[in-house]
């Protein structure tokens, strides 16, 4: 099995009210050595999902209660960004457009070819692992940003804007030495080894312009 789908961390969730279809997907995934859970309804999945990532959700469109498309929309509302593969026996242009707008990796018509479905699931896990890593990195950067004082945060914004120490000192009406001290503390708190790394982290966190207040 390739590195992009390691069974020790990846997990597949199957949501389908058709028992036969649900079992077929579950059997396929388990045969590939990847942990999986199946649910007969979207509501059951939402009650049980513990936030595990990386993950891929395989869901049918038409189900009793909440549909697969409504499940996608609910996940979006909750800020849950796992990959989603949508299955349907009743493909239509509006259904496809809605699924893709909701962020589906792909929409596949039932009955699905096993190889094609597995390829979609594999791609979903790879994509979610990448997104999960980015989310964790953003979370770590945000935690570091939260340790900055208001003045350090302001100096960081000027650094991102490309201002030299003398320029920052003039704008803040402080000494160059004071700006240098702030810079030193910023690099320490952000665990940045270079200016390029510091700017990259700041931009990733949404800091792009100075606040002149």
Whether residues 26 and 99 fall in one domain: yes
Domain assignment of residue 183, yes or no: yes
- Digit-coded pLDDT (tens) for 89-135: 888 899 999 999 999 999 999 988 999 999 999 999 999 998 888 87
Rounded to an integer, what distance in angstroms lies between the CA atom of residue 165 and that of residue 180? 7
Output the pLDDT for position 212.
43
Give the N- to C-terminal CA distance of the chain in Å, as an integer. Answer: 55
Overall number of domains in the chain: 2
Whether residues 115 and 18 fall in one domain: yes
The whole domain housing 173 covers: 147-204
Percent of the chain exceeding pLDDT 70 equals 93
Output 193 or 58, whichever has higher pLDDT.
58
**CATH number for the domain including 80?**
3.40.50.2300
The answer to pTM > 0.85 is: no
Helix axes 150-160, 195-204, angle to 10 degrees: 110
Judge contact between 88 and 109, C-beta under 8 A.
yes
**CATH number for the domain including 194?**
1.10.10.10
DSSP strand pairing (83-88 vs 106-109): parallel
Output 39 or 197, whichever has higher pLDDT.
39
């Amino acid at each position: 099995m390739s590195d992009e789908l390691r069974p020790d961390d990846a997990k597949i969730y199957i949501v389908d009210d058709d028992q036969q279809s649900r079992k077929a997907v579950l059997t396929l995934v388990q045969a590939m050595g990847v942990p999986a859970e199946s649910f007969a309804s979207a509501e059951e999945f939402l009650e049980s999902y513990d936030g595990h990532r990386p993950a891929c959700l395989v869901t049918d469109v038409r189900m009793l209660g909440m549909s697969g498309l409504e499940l996608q929309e609910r996940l979006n509302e909750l800020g849950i960004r796992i990959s989603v593969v949508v299955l349907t026996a009743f493909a239509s242009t509006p259904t496809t457009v809605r699924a893709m707008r909701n962020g589906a990796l792909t929409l596949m018509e039932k009955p699905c070819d096993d190889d094609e479905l597995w390829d979609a699931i594999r791609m979903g896990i790879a994509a979610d692992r990448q997104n999960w890593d980015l989310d964790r990195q953003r979370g770590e950067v945000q935690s570091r940003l939260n340790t900055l004082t208001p003045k350090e945060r302001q100096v960081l914004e000027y650094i991102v804007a490309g201002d030299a120490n003398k320029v920052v000192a003039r704008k803040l009406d402080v000494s160059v030495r004071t700006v240098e001290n702030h810079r030193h503390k910023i690099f320490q708190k952000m665990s940045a080894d270079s200016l390029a790394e510091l700017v990259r982290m700041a931009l990733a966190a949404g800091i792009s312009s100075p606040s002149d207040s």
